[in-house]
Amino acid sequence: MRCVLWAGSLLAVLVQAAVPYIEFDGKDGHIYHELDPLSQNIPLLDSQKHLRPPPPRIPTTYDIFIGVSAYRDGVRCGFTLFTAFSRATNPKRVYIGVVDQTMPDDPKCLDEYCKLANAHWKECRYKDQVKIDARHALESMGPNIARYYQQQLVGDQEFCLQVDAHSQLLQDWDTILVKEWARTENEMAVLTNYPLSFRDLSDDGTYTQTDGSHLCDLMERHKVDDIPYMTGIKRIHNSEHPQMSTFFGACLSFSKCHAEKRAPVDKHMKWLFFGEEYLRSYVLWTNGYDLYSPSRHGGVVFHNWTAKAYELLYWKDVPKDREERKWKEEAMSHNRLRAILKLPFHGEVDTTDINVYDQGTVRSTQQFLNFSGVSQVDAKLDEERCMQLHWVPYARPEIIELLLPGWSMYSSSTEKKSTEEEKAAWKDSVEAIQALGAKLEAKDVQRQEPAWLDSLKEKEDELLKKLDATLREKEDLLLKKLDERNAVMSVSEFTPALVLLVGLALVALVVRGRWSKI
């Protein structure tokens, strides 16, 4: 008996100590990455390694909102709701909003839930905690628009969960998800992925495997204007901790509800399907949110991936007389997405309210493209992002500081001031270089007396030496920083240095050119 207990304890220690890794065959060959999620909230730059995301804030009591968008899926939608209420630790604190898109004769989500509830409790318990936005299926314009309506059902709940209409939630899912979210050590965390299948569950309805689902790779793009979208589930083996990710999965997301309110779904993206999740990733990340895949311990939402899930599709129900309009509106949505991502596009684009819905202000578009491995120049330069990622500090932390009173990204006002002064110094340097170039051009035209030129030449020679020294210093610094990088990070962090280097080099050439003519 002791041997059995000892062996069991040893196995538990080995599982706990096993290194998480991800492995798959991708478009670039066999991919293998060992992961270190305990370091993921530490920025890559040495100068930023002391910075951290805001810690999670969990009130003593809290309500959870569940958003569901269903398309002609009433029976399975009802089962999803039933598992949410019947398996919650605190079902009285669970509120559900359903956008139920049906034909007149289709089963309705709430009716199907009540059938299961009546059989279980002899009443349709918790019915008053469900809001239904009932819509005719023929009015559907795709999942993105449905999720816009879904967001309008969010109340004053603390946490928000989004699941597909053909899902099931495991026992005590509500307390487990909050604990898993807290393990990210990030108030701005969004737990998200494509959930594993019902078939991954044991016969008793529990999950006993050591894998976790992860999103990290895009379908291969052949042209730079191709819309980015994910390949599907990649499994993290030995998944013990939430894992930072680049991509949002619409089948599951769990976060504070301020994410739903601060990063709204774009109601102008009609018919958007491929690209919907990349857009959501972008909007959340540029508004200061970070995406994490739940570990195996936090995997409490499972998905019905059977073929039946795809039998009733909104695009198959589009009336013939609306097909041409549908294709035009879908093309305009794709162009709207390209415009947001600064990708080339041709044809019409609707930019209505584009700044309201799709322009995050905490991090930049370029930062997200770099973080997610998408090139605006050449699709062949796209990269998978399945390696260990690291937190990118906010470009505008004051926005998050306003959201979270009492938290500051910098440890002191002095440090913040120093950083701001450093940014201002870069700007002043570039402006000074530009002004110097203009002055040299003007002096070249004037051609005044030699005495004046001799004096100016001495000053310019002195300045040129300083410029050359600064140029060498900045080159060495930049090369050192680049050598330190072993993983992806935003190229925007090096932009000021690159701008200054180019500017200094150009001025040096201009100065030499000017004196060679005199």
- The DSSP result for 209-244, as a single string, is -S-EEE---BPPPSSTTSPP-B---EEEET--S-EE
Q: How many CB atoms lie within 10 A of CB 351?
A: 13
- Bridge partners, 293 (sequence order): 243
Which pLDDT score is estimated for 166? Answer: 96
Which pLDDT score is estimated for 306? Answer: 84
Q: How would DSSP label each residue in 482-508?
A: HHH--S---GGGGHHHHHHHHHHHHHH
Q: Express the helix, strand and coil content of the chain in percent, nearest 5 each.
A: 45, 15, 40
Structure tokens at 217: 């790779």
154-172 burial: b if 16+ Cβ within 10 Å, else e: beebbbbbbbbbbbbbbee
Instruction: Please report, rounded to a whole number, the percentage of residues in the chain having pLDDT higher than 70.
Output: 75
Which pLDDT score is estimated for 469? Answer: 55
CA–CA distance from 468 to each of 61, 189, 503, 511, 513 (Å)? 62, 45, 12, 11, 15
Which pLDDT score is estimated for 196? Answer: 97
Average pLDDT over residues 36-56: 97
Whether the Cβ atoms of residue 263 and residue 148 lie closer than 8 Å to each other: no
Q: How many CB atoms lie within 10 A of CB 426?
A: 15
Instruction: Please report, rounded to a whole number, the percentage of residues in the chain having pLDDT higher than 90.
Output: 69
Q: Which of 18-32, 39-53, 484-498 has the highest mean pLDDT?
A: 39-53
Phi/psi of residue 435, nearest 5 degrees? -65, -40
177 or 428: which leads in pLDDT: 177
Give the model confidence (pLDDT) of 109-130 as tens digits: 999 999 999 999 999 999 999 9
pLDDT level of residue 477 (50, 70, 90 thresholds): low
6 or 224: which leads in pLDDT: 224
pLDDT level of residue 359 (50, 70, 90 thresholds): confident
Which pLDDT score is estimated for 476? Answer: 53
Give the model confidence (pLDDT) of 116-166 as tens digits: 999 999 999 999 999 999 999 999 999 999 999 999 999 999 999 999 999
The vertex-307 CA angle with 302 and 312, nearest 5°, equals 100
- In this predicted structure, the answer to whether residue 459 has a pLDDT above a threshold of 60 is no
Which pLDDT score is estimated for 416? Answer: 58
- Bridge partners, 213 (sequence order): 235
Q: How many CB atoms lie within 10 A of CB 200?
A: 16
Sign of CA dihedral 280, 281, 287, 293: positive
Which pLDDT score is estimated for 48? Answer: 97
Structure tokens at 35: 């992961």
- In this predicted structure, the answer to whether residue 488 has a pLDDT above a threshold of 60 is no
- In this predicted structure, the answer to whether residue 208 has a pLDDT above a threshold of 60 is yes
Average pLDDT over residues 323-341: 93
- In this predicted structure, the answer to whether residue 486 has a pLDDT above a threshold of 80 is no
- In this predicted structure, the answer to whether residue 307 has a pLDDT above a threshold of 50 is yes
Give the model confidence (pLDDT) of 241-293 as tens digits: 999 999 999 999 999 999 999 999 999 999 999 999 999 999 999 999 999 99
Structure tokens at 404: 């979270």
3-state SS assignment for residue 272? coil
| Choice among 220-229, 316-325, 399-408, 410-419 with the minimum mean pLDDT | 410-419
Whether the Cβ atoms of residue 146 and residue 71 lie closer than 8 Å to each other: yes
- In this predicted structure, the answer to whether residue 58 has a pLDDT above a threshold of 70 is yes
pLDDT level of residue 466 (50, 70, 90 thresholds): low
**Residues in CB range of 218: below 8 A, 6 or more apart:** 228, 229, 230, 231, 278, 372, 373, 374, 382, 384
What global pTM score does this model have? 0.78
- Bridge partners, 25 (sequence order): 30
Task: Name the burial class of residue 463, with classes exposed (0-12), middle (13-18) and buried (19+) by CB atoms within 10 angstroms of its CB.
Answer: middle
User: Alpha-carbon distance 362 to 258, whole Å?
Assistant: 15
Give the model confidence (pLDDT) of 404-455 as tens digits: 999 999 976 556 555 555 555 445 444 544 444 444 334 333 333 344 344 4
